């Protein structure tokens, strides 16, 4: 699904902070938001986890919503592109397994 097919719901700050702070145990309560909320650059929550190098969060998000792996942001980067560019080798491994 391309970013234009998403609703215009901005990412909830609590969801963003949950990933940024590596609160993996709290992710379950936000699963229904994973594929509807984006940052201004069309980052999904998996993009956010990948950008910050949060491998446990990325693995949990991927387990719950594997379709997010193929989601591209505004500049056509998927989470794997971000993991490679940020040199998060553990996340690269998680994403390709």
Domains of the chain: 3-96 (1.25.40.20)
Task: Output the pLDDT for position 73.
Answer: 85
CA 4 to chain centre: 17
Report percent pLDDT > 70 for the chain. 92
What is the rounded average pLDDT for all residues in the chain?
A: 89
Per-residue model confidence as pLDDT tens digits over 39-71: 988 899 999 999 999 999 999 999 999 999 999
User: pTM here?
Assistant: 0.87
Measured between alpha carbons, how far is 59 from 81 in angstroms, rounded to an integer?
A: 16
pLDDT band for position 5 (cuts 50, 70, 90): very low
State the CB neighbour count (10 A cutoff) for residue 77: 18
Residue 27 has pLDDT above 60, yes or no: yes
* φ, ψ (nearest 5 deg) of residue 9: -75, 120
């Amino acid at each position: 699904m391309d970013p234009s097919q998403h609703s215009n719901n901005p990412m909830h700050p609590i969801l963003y902070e949950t990933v940024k702070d590596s609160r993996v145990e709290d992710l379950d309560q936000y699963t229904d938001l994973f594929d509807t909320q984006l940052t201004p650059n069309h980052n999904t929550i998996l993009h956010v986890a990948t950008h910050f190098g949060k491998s446990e969060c990325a693995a949990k998000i991927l387990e719950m919503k594997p379709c997010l792996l193929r989601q591209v942001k505004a500049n056509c980067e998927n989470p794997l592109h971000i993991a490679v560019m940020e040199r998060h080798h553990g996340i690269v491994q998680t994403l390709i397994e």
